[in-house]
A and B are shown apart, each in its own frame.
Chain A
Amino acid sequence: MTVATPGPVAATHPEPAGVDNRVVVGGVALTWRELPTPALPDPAAVLAHSAAHALAAARQHAVRGTELLLSTASRVDAAMRADLSEAGFAVTVLDDDGTHPSAPARPRAADPGRLWLLTSGSTGRPKRVGHTLDTLTTVRADQPERTWLCPYAPGTYAWWQVVTLSLTQPGQHLVVVEPDELDDWPAVAAAHGVDAASGTPTFWRRTLYRDAAALARVPLRQITLGGEPVDQAILDQLRDVFPTARISWIYASSEVGASIVVHDGRAGFPVDWLDRQAPGRPTLSVRDDELVVTSPFHGAGLAGPVRTGDRVQVVDGRVLITGRLDSDEINVGGSKVSAGVVRGVLTGHPTVAWARVTGRRAPVLGRMVVAEVVLTPADPSEPASADAGVPDEAALVRWCADRLPDHAVPRRIRVLTEIPVKETLKSDV
């Protein structure tokens, strides 16, 4: 079934303040106002065929306030479609031909203004978290005029952060790259004057690894990292390329919203931010090595302290977020090792571009720390010394042994030729 896109929208909400901001999608520059506003079922779970369709759905929601869950076909499998249908959503494919809705298994009345996010599902099945455009909008202070790159998968929390910024703040323009443009985003960004970009550490590592010179040509004044643990090495590498840009990292999730923003160029946040209470601001605590956040930007039904499932460790007065509790901790013969801390040591090596640290089944100790790394490409301008600079497994093991307790040293380190990445721009490090 196909429903044609209708003409002018019968607006039920005032136009958002950013409606005349520039939006570049698929290489075409237009404004939010010029995007089509498809007629969507209410409530609808929209599977956007491309970035342009996702933006159209967001604009439609801003204007009409119909209940919306936005994602892509590749992130919603058959079982999830059935779940959504049972939960009353008309699962609707949105593509160039229009909208293709399927009737919900259990029709119900819509909840006006409700936006749903699917958690990334890195642990177990994705969950639905309820928001509104208002609770997703965390940047409210006036911002300097910026053109933002949006590399995120449509409908994720990070995607909504960039999209709501552009929808609600005049002067916040948007350049969206499709997944197939991702490897060449610096060229697209340079062509359209992108001066602010937000991405995962894996996204930034891949970009530096593929073509640091192309990245340096993007006139970035604001660099934002989030979605994965942020280590000092990636912050330093970006600082080298962009000495005067503001480099920020953000801790955000569908459940607690954007809760930590750090601008000082260092990994972790100051330990005196813990248990500090201020109106309108999240309160950060640690319980049993787990980050607990009480946030005004929380999802529906998540008021009060939320256990984040993220593991923290205090090192030199900074609270480092090292990874997921259920995967970060490796038990080596009774000694606990943080995979994130080991990863930080590996990525601190001058020739390591990316690292993943895991526990591997081993005799006597139960588990042993092992790693995979991607090395930085040899500098073509230094052909004579290129070989000498490539470390072997033993050299990397020694690097770790000089910086970590014995049981935390990865003994097997495999070298990969490409940084793995998923649609969420994360690599499950």
Chain B
Amino acid sequence: MNELSRAQIRDLMAQVLKNQDKELPADDAAQLREIGFRSLDFSELALRVEDETGEELNFDAPGLRRIATVGDVLDFLVELQHQ
């Protein structure tokens, strides 16, 4: 299927931040709060993943979880593509 790799999702995440003149640190452990990556940015990233793959993500599938770091975001979206 049209699945994006973790690295490709990272590139999209960098694009979301770059459009706001922010930078995505290389470290997956970087805190979202510190780099200014908010709910709106997360939603935008999810839409970008959908647009790239042409497939809808099933946002309802996974349970609640804590998304605090860059790595959390990437893991979550990689996983969502499998739902």
**Given A362-B59, A397-B19 in contact, is the A412-B40 Cβ separation under 8 Å?**
no
The main secondary structure of chain A at its interface with chain B is: mixed
> Assuming the A-B contacts A394-B19, A397-B19, are A364 and B39 also in contact, with contact meaning beta carbons closer than 8 angstroms in the complex?
yes
Size range of the chain B interface in the assembly: 10 to 19
Flag B27-66 by CB within 8 Å of A: 1 or 0 each.
0000000000001101110111001000011010000000
Q: If the complex has contacts A412-B48, A412-B51, are A365 and B43 also in contact, measured as CB distance less than 8 A?
A: yes
- Tell me if B44 and A333 are in contact (CB < 8 A): no
The interface residues of chain B lying within 8 Å CB-to-CB of A360 are: 47
Chain B: interface secondary structure? helix
Are B46 and A363 in contact, with the CB atoms below 8 A?
Answer: yes
A-contact bits for B12-32, CB 8 A (1 contact / 0 none): 000000111000000000000
- With A368-B47, A370-B47, A412-B48 as contacts: A363 and B19 at CB distance below 8 Å: no
* Most A CB within 10 A of own CB, among B18, B20, B42, B47: B47
- Are A365 and B40 touching (Cβ within 8 A)? yes
Chain A residues positioned under 8 Å from B46 (CB to CB): 362-363
CB-based nearest B residue for A370:
B47
Contact between A364 and B42 (Cβ–Cβ < 8 Å)?
A: yes
| Interfacial residues of chain A within 386-429, with CB under 8 A of chain B in the complex | 394, 397-398, 401, 406-407, 409, 411-412
> What is the chain B residue whose CB lies nearest that of A364?
B39
Chain A residues 126 to 147 lying within 8 A of chain B, measured CB to CB, are none
Whether the pair B47, A333 counts as a contact (CB closer than 8 A) is no
Determine if A412 and B47 form an interchain contact, defined as CB atoms under 8 angstroms apart: yes
**Given contacts A362-B47, A412-B51, A398 and B39 within 8 Å (CB-CB):** no
Measured between alpha carbons, how far is A360 from B59 in the docked complex, in Å?
A: 13
Inter-chain CA distance A363–B51, complex, in Å, is 14
Chain A min CB distance to B69 (Å): 16
Asked if A281 is an interface residue, CB under 8 A from chain B, the answer is no
Closest-CB distance, B45 to chain A (whole angstroms): 9
Partner of B40, one of A394, A398, A406: A406
Across-interface contacts of B56 in A (CB, < 8 A):
361
A79, chain B: closest CB distance, angstroms:
31
A364 and B43 contacting across the interface, CB-CB below 8 Å: yes
Min CB distance A403 to B, Å, is: 15
The CA of A322 and the CA of B20, in the complex, are separated in Å by 28
29 A-B pairs in the complex with CB atoms less than 8 angstroms apart: A332-B40, A333-B39, A361-B59, A362-B44, A362-B46, A362-B47, A363-B42, A363-B43, A363-B46, A363-B57, A364-B39, A364-B43, A365-B39, A365-B40, A365-B43, A368-B40, A368-B43, A368-B47, A370-B47, A394-B19, A397-B19, A398-B19, A406-B40, A409-B40, A411-B43, A411-B44, A411-B47, A412-B48, A412-B51
Please list the residues of chain B having a beta carbon within 8 angstroms of any beta carbon in chain A.
18-20, 39-40, 42-44, 46-48, 51, 56-57, 59
9 A-B pairs with least C-beta separation = A411-B44, A362-B43, A363-B59, A394-B19, A368-B43, A364-B39, A363-B46, A365-B43, A412-B47
Beyond A332-B40, A362-B44, 15 additional pairs, beta carbon < 8 A: A362-B46, A362-B47, A362-B59, A363-B42, A363-B43, A363-B57, A364-B39, A365-B40, A394-B18, A401-B20, A406-B40, A407-B40, A411-B44, A412-B47, A412-B51
